[in-house]
Amino acid sequence: MTLLSRESTQPLSEQLAQRFVARMRDQLLISGARLPSVRQCAQTHGVSASTVVAAYDWLVAQGWVEARPNRGFFVRDRVQRLPPSNTARLGTEASPPPVNAASLIRGMFHNASAEPQPGMGVFPPDWLDADFLPAALRKVVASPALREASLRYGEPQGDSGLREVLSGKLASLGLHAAPGQLITTVGATHALDIISRTLLRPGDCVMVEEPGWAIEFARLQNLGVRILPVPRLESGPDLEVVERYAQLHAPKMMVSVSVLHNPTGYGLSLPCAHQLVNLAHRYNFYMVEDDTYGHMAPAHAVRLSVLDGLQKTIYVSGYAKILAPSWRVGYLAAPADLKEAFLDTKLLSTLTTPVLFEKALALCLEQGSIWRHTERLLQLLDAARGRSVKLALAYGCRFVAPPQGLFGWVDVGVDTDALALRMHDIGYLLAPGSLFHADRRPGSFMRINFACTQEDKFWRALASLRAEML
């Protein structure tokens, strides 16, 4: 964080105002967000109330925020802002207002500091640093595959060797999908996008678990579909809500996470899974099963696609989470009658997928390297989770769901949107609860990454700021 400088020739009020402008441009403060109160802002930045008032008045005058009587200062929609030419960036201010969930995701990927980032959704880089990945890639590059892969497009469905290995892996879970039913993608997110773009049209209804994955909300909103939020319970989606939506709105599909649900960590019970599959058949909608975190769960965990046999289910997974975020190798397993339509959408969006990475991944899977790597990750994660849970409880936080997997769903007792802004000032990125609701509903919940919340320093800072907000 860059501190306000009393040695600068620029007045403190201008420095403070420009800090808020930078936040709005980076979408850490999005349309409709409330700025801290004058007193709170003055306390946070160590300046007088008059300095804050001067900064806020400048932001109002320049069109960045609006003052609402007896309520405070709020960020204006980007299409309503009229900043002067010396602060505007070409083409930025005329663009449509961002989707709220996407804006918050952009903020999560903003590098606040060198501190471990509790709001991030990945393992720490040093956990993922493994020799077998570059070794496999070197072996592929040294083979004739390099010339073949470089001079022509890869196979439309993805590398046949990888699909053969993935088919065997799915069979070990009880999901029997022939290699011809598999399509490789640029990560699991790309697979979900292919499915959505193939099956949905603007105005269609889609059921999505809530709380749920922010990027999924953002993607669907950008496609112009209507999101029907389904409360996620410990046993699975709320079946009464699913059936009511199915009767009233005839949704085309539902997106669900059966194993280690993000952000709660919940699994799916067998009775709930059976009823959900029955509802999909009765009301003719597809169940899209996102199994991104399945690598971290026991093989016997309940999966919809296994029960249904890929009739009304579509299975999605990938390896970016446990290998490296930049190794964007994902895949989908589709009902036979949808495979060609999904393939057409893939070809229209990316033509092909990275052949060298796919061949290297197939080699790692065949040699068992990924299994050993995953076992080591889970040992590290188990230890980190234990430390993180003890610290969270010691500093007065409450777990809304039993701690398991990579994420914890925590109640901190104050508005986590406001807390996230204050924590960002001292170098931490949080994932506030509003990030996981389609309507950005404020609240006191937040998602933490157990791998990044093992230090007392973080929890002590959070507790200190929370006490100031109570």
**Average pLDDT, integer, range 222-236:** 94
The pLDDT of residue 362 is above 90: yes
Report the pLDDT value the prediction gives residue 24, as an integer from 0 to 100.
Answer: 82
pLDDT tens figures, 47-101: 999 999 999 999 998 889 999 988 889 888 764 544 443 333 323 332 333 334 4
Q: What angle do CA 298, 301, 305 make, to 5 degrees?
A: 130
What does the mean pLDDT of the chain come to?
87
Report the pLDDT value the prediction gives residue 96, as an integer from 0 to 100.
Answer: 31
Higher pLDDT, 469 or 278: 278
Report the pLDDT value the prediction gives residue 94, as an integer from 0 to 100.
Answer: 28
**Average pLDDT, integer, range 208-219:** 88
Partners of 410 in the beta sheet? 399, 446
List of domains in the chain: 12-98 (1.10.10.10), 132-367 (3.40.640.10), 372-469 (3.90.1150.10)
CB 260 within 8 A of CB 409: no
CB 183 within 8 A of CB 157: yes
CB 68 within 8 A of CB 56: no
CB 442 within 8 A of CB 57: no
Neighbours of 242 (CB within 10 A): 25
The pLDDT of residue 196 is above 90: yes
The pLDDT of residue 106 is above 80: no
Q: What H or E segment, with its residue span, contains residue 128?
A: helix 125-128
**Average pLDDT, integer, range 375-398:** 96
pLDDT tens figures, 108-164: 455 556 778 898 888 998 898 888 988 988 888 887 766 666 677 788 999 999 999
Report the pLDDT value the prediction gives residue 103, as an integer from 0 to 100.
Answer: 46
Report the pLDDT value the prediction gives residue 2, as an integer from 0 to 100.
Answer: 52
Residue with tokens 């901190």: 412
The pLDDT of residue 346 is above 60: yes
Q: Distance (Å, rounded) from C-alpha 442 to C-alpha 133? A: 41
pLDDT tens figures, 20-46: 888 887 767 777 788 888 988 888 888
Q: Distance (Å, rounded) from C-alpha 272 to C-alpha 275? A: 5
Instruction: Label residue 352 by pLDDT band (50, 70, 90).
Output: confident
Q: Distance (Å, rounded) from C-alpha 44 to C-alpha 65? A: 20
Nearest to 243 by CA among 275, 274, 287: 275
The pLDDT of residue 325 is above 90: no
